[in-house]
Structure 1
Amino acid sequence: MFTTRPTLQGTFGMVSSTHWLASQTAMAVLEDDGNAYDAAVAAGFVLHVVEPHLNGPAGEVPMILAPAGGAVRVLCGQGVAPAGATVAHYRDTLGLALVPGTGPLAAAVPGAFDAWMLLLRDHGTKTLAEVLRYAVGYAEDGHPPVERVTRTVETVRELFETEWTSSAAVYLPGGRPPTPGEPFRNPRLAATWRRLIAEAEAAGGTDRSAQIEAARTVWRTGFIAEALVRQAARPTLDTSGEHHTGTLTAADLAAWSAGYEDPVTYDWRGWTLCKAGPWSQGPALLQQLALLPDELPPPGSAAYIHLLVEGCKLAMADREAWYGDVAPVPLAELLSEDYNTGRRALVGEHASHELRPGRPGGREPLLSAHARAVAAGERPDLRAPNDTAAAGAGEPTVTNDGGTRGDTCHLDVVDRWGNMVAATPSGGWLQSNPVVPELGFPLGTRLQMAWLEEGLPDSLTPGRRPRTTLSPSLALKDGEPVLAFGTPGGDQQDQWQTHFFLAVALRPAIRGGLDLQGAIDAPNWHTESFPESFYPRGMRPGSLVVESRTDPGAVAELRRRGHEVTVGGPWSEGRLCAVARDPRTGVLSAAANPRGMQGYAVGR
């Protein structure tokens, strides 16, 4: 079939990311005898510079690692709610019904930086200075920004100029936003990293691990921590329309660190899919696979899309009722054949407009009042029914007050030794919080995903991770790591990734390998028939957004089945990245999304 680009193949190393400068940075590290983990760290910090509207150092990053010859592991870079972030404080003291979508009240303990440092310390070979030099260079010397950075800054220009003036100083120098074709610089960010490197080298001497540990200490208790805490204490205008201070303290920063976990897995037709735990939405991809019948309709047909959309609705309803940073989450039951046999029977010929969580083990679902209202037939959707903003190419939807549904980046790397990593950095967007003037980057807003209602799996709770949409994936075939992939897109991540994985698994091989590019390029779709994770937590029951390349006959049939179909642009759904390795031959592959025209794969 037609593809926009070839699936790359080689034997030395492969990279795919959502920005060509990050991809090429990772490849440069591989060429300099770095491994996949060195390359991922260097690329991750470059993404902070070149996609600042999609991620930053004070955001989050879950990763899935497959070290050559070792066990698959999840590295959690999702920080927790601060000690002062209680439902009582937000609801009773401040009178809020939802965590604001912007501002310091929405800031969790930043997780991305420490996770990258842990990856570098435990699995990398390079020094801190060696991996940071690329980000320092682009921040100091400049880089030509992508158009979406310009558009995002223009959207929040008034907010920056009147309220978030430290952000205006970085992103509106001389009153002008970053301009495509002209170098854009962030000298304050470059100075932050230069100071960090200097302090880490002074404290750690010539020992690589000691330097990295010293950098982690600077972040948690040194000049960076002090600046973050000062910023959290500044009254800031947020999406509530009022000025609030945050809850992040020095003690919160000092107490938290990234850590490793076992992945949640599911076996499907010889594949084993690995995801982060239910503190993420990752297991929803596994549930969608568990719901599939033995026989599938032809891919791309109305029956196929209908089947996957209806299964997604059931999985996401379970996400709402059961997922969170709590124990126990009944994952064994949610993925069991008995449970899914009963759930599968709920998929009929017509589209469901209901929110239908299951009852694993006979338990009663725990839904927020908002979700219960939707399930009772109310439609608390704050957007117009014909709003097609949801059909954007994985980019954030930003309002004039800075509110956003949120988005992110993604990168995958595989090296010649067989090390593999999938990482989804996000949060700390330029539109999420004011730039910390001393540092050159803002705090994040991940707490907006927690509910201000006690007793739910995702209730705002000190010390707990808010349930994140960030969801990298790694797949094994016959027990061997084969495929790392992921996409930006908030609640859509585990929809687009399910469609991509099935396309890979069901397509004939090309040139002896997986047809990654064909699977990425295939027409895609998503539904919002469940409560969104981002402020203001809207929902569109029965919604289905498809690309205009979808067969018109299939669209007509989907409408006949009761789906409320919105036809988006021809290349509007997803920003997938993927790398692969054939363990039999050592041949590596990579592909990247053409949507948005900035994701690229490189390799040789």
Structure 2
Amino acid sequence: MSAATHWLATATAQSVLERDGNAFDAAVAAAFVLHVAEPHLNGPGGDLVAVFATAEDPAPRVLAGQGHAPRGATVEHLRAQGMDRVPGAGALAAAVPGAVDSWLWLLARHGTWEVADVLAYAAHYAERGFPVVPQLARTIAAVEGLFREHWTTSYALWMPGGKVPEPNGTLTNPAYAATLRRLAAAGGTTRTDRVEAARTAWTRGFVAEQAAEFAARPHRHSCGCDHAGVITAEDFADFVPATEPAVTAVFRGVTVAKAGLWSQGPVLLQTLGILDHVGDSRIDLSTGLGIHTVTEAMKLAMADREAYYGHLPPDRAASVLERLLDPAYAARRAALITDEASTRLRPGDIGITPFVPPLTVDGEDGEENAAATGGGTAGAGEPTVARNGETRGDTCHLDVVDRWGNIIAATPSGGWLQSSPAIPSLGFALGTRLQMTWLDPAAPSYLTPGRRPRTTLSPTLLLRDGQPVAALGTPGGDQQDQWQLLYLIRTLVHGLDPQEAIDAPAFHTTAVPSSFWPRTWTPAGLVVEERVGGEAVAELRRRGHAVTVSGPWTLGRLSTVTRDPATGELRAAANPRGAQGYAAGR
């Protein structure tokens, strides 16, 4: 079974499975297709986080495809450029691209297919053409002026004939097709050798060299000034894909597996721990009380994210996680939930001085705030693009399970076409993940060469009795774990099936500093789909929430695949919002 945020990725994964590829072959092929089909949501210059288990070893592992800060990405350098924050667009915000090398690493270690066969799907669509989903056309239209005036290589690539592409039309990316074909032709005597040769061409060959050369040219950043990037070919060579054990917690008899503190994954585990101390009647998501209670629990966990999360040394990370996931600590946090909406950022006391980021309020009212943070308006769940290519991003997601029991949930992101100027010889842009770091040395996510920025990418694996039973995730930046929380409550507490849980009305809080430039927040902010109902909205406003009512089908882009270890039965479900996600299988 396969499920993804774009039907071409689902179809690709399913094609691989039908031709005896395993789940990892299928996921890698689908991921490269996502680079082509959703270039406004992810790209080769970006990153990924995946959680997976193999048929031979059901223990959940995390693939950390999040690149680190380049050697020259120092606080001193950015301050010398007159910056007090990492910009949201432009190569100064580029972490070392981790997606491509990590996907190829996964293919070499756990796949079975030849690299040329895996990349053939994406190369075909890039060369022959792929459909322009409406949001892609809207995104390009939003940055048309920037492309025309400053990012002329992006103008040439994404506006052929000098026009914004029509929704549902067709685009090509011949430069990226050529890049893929060069990677596939790298050579070698065995399958693994050929995959490794493609990796070398990326990290130490023509890709690294051309990307670094192009990024060194001054270009417009989101601050409105022109700067050169600092990433070098040597930085590409420094990146090494890594796997690590997942961080886990048990909720209602199910083990929930997430990435560590360098992601926002433990936010979901913390919130589930808090809700373990709240009666089920208080988390009925069809009521105002349920929405209020879950929102307040999430706000507490997200406050801890700001205070304590980052790419920490292993011993320190283990100590922080142990304190944050302690049931006694969760009980103390649960006791803070009252009948009224909180309006302060409230990190907990775990015996470490918490970092409190600058709290810049976004706008005057809930509707404006939601629009600025990418929630509650038309196209919610997609990047909101403003001047200079600024984006408070979003991403893609895919899930695959095969008949042998291999299973993976992956969230690729970054390298959006609106991140930085397109590299014309390669057909993609660098990412901007460093915008999630701070220039304050007190921050656990302090900008430091060689360290990963704290990412929002947060896929999930579920296990029963030690056996994987589901892979799931969603795009959505800061909303990813919020929307997954709703899914888990609806399936594990209230008994909905996966598709019912995905289809149900969604909501999320904006009462947390955004991970994306310019890092603003909305005290008491809450965005809800219209389908939650007028009575619930009125109650939430009486409780003090600054409610923005979004369209009826606008929030969340969840997908999932499931597996019953006892019977071998496989299922999948995908998001209907936007008529773009798809689930398939047999």
TM-score norm. by structure 2 comes to: 0.96
Output the CA distance in 1 between the equivalents of 2:83 and 2:260: 29
Output the CA distance in 2 between the equivalents of 1:395 and 1:181: 17
**Corresponding residue of 2:297:** 311
Residue 336 of structure 2 is aligned to residue 357 of structure 1: no
**Corresponding residue of 1:502:** 489
Output the CA distance in 1 between the equivalents of 2:165 and 2:54: 39
Match of 1:89 among 38, 60, 77: 77
Residue 4 of structure 2 is aligned to residue 20 of structure 1: no
Would the aligned equivalents of 2:46 and 2:99 in 1 still touch at CA under 8 Å? yes
- SS of corresponding position for 2:194: helix
Would the aligned equivalents of 2:93 and 2:434 in 1 still touch at CA under 8 Å? yes
Match of 1:596 among 574, 578, 582: 578
Residue 330 of structure 2 is aligned to residue 343 of structure 1: no
Would the aligned equivalents of 1:238 and 1:244 in 2 still touch at CA under 8 Å? yes
CA displacement at 1:364 relative to structure 2: 1.9
- SS of corresponding position for 1:61: strand
Residue 246 of structure 2 is aligned to residue 263 of structure 1: yes
Output the CA distance in 2 between the equivalents of 1:247 and 1:288: 38
CA displacement at 1:155 relative to structure 2: 0.7
CA displacement at 1:553 relative to structure 2: 1.3
**Corresponding residue of 2:143:** 156
Letter in 1 for 2:34: L
Letter in 2 for 1:332: E
**Corresponding residue of 1:381:** 362
Letter in 2 for 1:350: E
Residue 416 of structure 2 is aligned to residue 435 of structure 1: no
CA displacement at 1:350 relative to structure 2: 0.4
- SS of corresponding position for 1:401: helix
**Corresponding residue of 1:581:** 563
Letter in 2 for 1:595: R
**Corresponding residue of 2:288:** 302
Output the CA distance in 1 between the equivalents of 2:462 and 2:28: 21
Compare 235-244 and 380-389 and name the one that shifted more: 380-389
- SS of corresponding position for 1:62: strand
Tell me the alpha carbon deviations over residues 459-485 of structure 1, each in whole angstroms, 9 at most, x when there is no partner: 101110000000000011222100100
Letter in 1 for 2:291: I
- SS of corresponding position for 1:596: helix
Residue 201 of structure 2 is aligned to residue 214 of structure 1: no
| 1:391-470 matched pairs, under 5 angstroms | 391=376, 392-470=379-457
Residue 99 of structure 2 is aligned to residue 117 of structure 1: no
Figure out how many residues of one structure are paired with residues of the other and give that number.
572
Would the aligned equivalents of 1:449 and 1:535 in 2 still touch at CA under 8 Å? yes
CA displacement at 1:385 relative to structure 2: 4.1
CA displacement at 1:142 relative to structure 2: 0.5
CA displacement at 1:96 relative to structure 2: 0.4
| Alpha-carbon spacing, 1:384–1:159, altered in 2? closer, same or farther (3 Å) | farther
Letter in 2 for 1:273: V
Letter in 2 for 1:365: P
Would the aligned equivalents of 1:317 and 1:357 in 2 still touch at CA under 8 Å? yes
Match of 1:249 among 208, 218, 232: 232
Letter in 1 for 2:222: T
Letter in 1 for 2:75: V
Residue 523 of structure 2 is aligned to residue 541 of structure 1: yes
**Corresponding residue of 1:6:** none
Tell me the alpha carbon deviations over residues 385-413 of structure 1, each in whole angstroms, 9 at most, x when there is no partner: 42242124310000132101011000000
Residue 128 of structure 2 is aligned to residue 141 of structure 1: yes
- SS of corresponding position for 2:47: coil
CA displacement at 1:177 relative to structure 2: 2.3
| 1:154-303 matched pairs, under 5 angstroms | 154-198=141-185, 200-201=186-187, 204-205=188-189, 207-292=190-275, 293-297=277-281, 298-303=284-289
CA displacement at 1:183 relative to structure 2: 2.5
Would the aligned equivalents of 1:66 and 1:421 in 2 still touch at CA under 8 Å? yes
Output the CA distance in 1 between the equivalents of 2:328 and 2:421: 49
Output the CA distance in 1 between the equivalents of 2:467 and 2:255: 9
Tell me the alpha carbon deviations over residues 257-300 of structure 1, each in whole angstroms, 9 at most, x when there is no partner: 11111111001121000000100000000000000125222332
List runs of 5+ in structure 1 lacking aligned partners: 1-13, 510-514
| 1:35-50 matched pairs, under 5 angstroms | 35-50=22-37
Would the aligned equivalents of 2:514 and 2:520 in 1 still touch at CA under 8 Å? yes
Would the aligned equivalents of 2:366 and 2:548 in 1 still touch at CA under 8 Å? no
Would the aligned equivalents of 2:165 and 2:171 in 1 still touch at CA under 8 Å? yes
CA displacement at 1:439 relative to structure 2: 0.2
Compare 499-508 and 559-568 and name the one that shifted more: 499-508
Superposition CA RMSD, Å: 1.2
Letter in 2 for 1:305: I
Letter in 2 for 1:245: A
- SS of corresponding position for 2:511: coil
CA displacement at 1:232 relative to structure 2: 1.6
TM-score norm. by structure 1 comes to: 0.93
Report the identity percentage: 56
- SS of corresponding position for 2:257: strand
- SS of corresponding position for 2:27: helix
CA displacement at 1:508 relative to structure 2: 3.2
CA displacement at 1:383 relative to structure 2: 7.1
**Corresponding residue of 1:489:** 476
| Alpha-carbon spacing, 1:383–1:248, altered in 2? closer, same or farther (3 Å) | farther
Would the aligned equivalents of 2:365 and 2:546 in 1 still touch at CA under 8 Å? no
Would the aligned equivalents of 1:321 and 1:457 in 2 still touch at CA under 8 Å? yes
Match of 2:66 among 66, 74, 78: 78
Would the aligned equivalents of 2:572 and 2:583 in 1 still touch at CA under 8 Å? yes
Would the aligned equivalents of 1:393 and 1:596 in 2 still touch at CA under 8 Å? no
Compare 461-470 and 387-396 and name the one that shifted more: 387-396
Would the aligned equivalents of 1:544 and 1:564 in 2 still touch at CA under 8 Å? yes
Residue 321 of structure 2 is aligned to residue 331 of structure 1: yes
**Corresponding residue of 1:10:** none
**Corresponding residue of 1:568:** 550
List runs of 5+ in structure 2 lacking aligned partners: none
